[in-house]
């Protein structure tokens, strides 16, 4: 039996628990308004998990063509923009269903076969200082962990239906 004082570092039961912990960690450690794990389903980006969870509901869909994540995945814009207004590809897509995005960070989530699964992304309604870029490696490590768990056989949930 594991002593109670070390149970907080026990392995995750499933991929969803790992994703939820990653989002909560990023929200607490890095800040920003909203953190999401998304999945690409056809021509839509679908929110699987979000934190804080009251901001956007799982199942929320956005046309892939209209997303900041698409710009990042296709290499048209950097993984992090502390000021989206100065990155033309992000500025053109800064109006999102949740409001204006002032700062964005996104990291691809990949399957074992190196296919695009979705993204781990964070947004802020306000621009962030350039020093926020120091956290990029932490965010990349969280995304790589989620991709590695998929590669190791932990299955992410199916895309939920759109919220009513």
Residue-wise pLDDT for 56-97, tens only, equals 999 999 999 999 999 999 999 999 999 999 999 999 987 777
Task: Indicate whether 160 belongs to any domain.
Answer: no
User: CATH no. for residue 54?
Assistant: 3.30.450.40
pLDDT at 30: 94
Task: Indicate whether 4 belongs to any domain.
Answer: no
Percent of the chain clearing pLDDT 90 (strictly above): 79
Helix pair angle (136-151, 15-29), 10° resolution: 180
Task: Indicate whether 156 belongs to any domain.
Answer: no
Task: Indicate whether 128 belongs to any domain.
Answer: yes
Phi first, then psi: give them for residue 77, nearest 5 degrees: -145, 160
More confident residue, 111 or 53: 111
pTM, entire model: 0.92
Task: Indicate whether 159 belongs to any domain.
Answer: no
Domain of residue 24, residue span: 12-151
pLDDT tens-digit map of 90-130: 999 877 777 789 999 999 999 999 999 999 999 999 999 99
Structurally, how many domains does the chain consist of?
A: 1
Task: Indicate whether 112 belongs to any domain.
Answer: yes
Q: What per-residue string of b and e applies to 16-27 under the rule 16 or more CB within 10 Å gives b?
A: bebbbebbeebb
């Amino acid at each position: 039996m594991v002593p109670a004082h070390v149970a907080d570092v026990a392995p995750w039961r499933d991929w969803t628990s790992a994703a939820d912990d990653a989002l909560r960690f990023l929200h607490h450690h890095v800040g920003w308004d909203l953190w999401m794990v998304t999945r690409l389903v056809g021509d839509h980006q679908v929110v699987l998990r979000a934190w804080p969870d009251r901001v956007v509901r799982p199942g929320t869909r956005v046309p892939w063509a209209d997303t900041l994540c698409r710009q990042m995945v296709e290499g048209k814009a950097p993984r992090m923009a502390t000021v989206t207004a100065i990155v033309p590809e992000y500025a053109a897509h800064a109006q999102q269903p949740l409001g204006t995005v002032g700062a964005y960070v996104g990291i691809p989530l990949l399957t074992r076969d190196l296919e695009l699964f979705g993204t781990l992304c964070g947004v802020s309604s306000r621009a962030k200082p350039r020093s926020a870029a120091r956290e990029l490696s932490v965010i990349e490590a969280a995304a790589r962990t989620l991709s590695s768990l998929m590669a190791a056989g932990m299955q992410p949930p199916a895309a939920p239906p759109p919220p009513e």
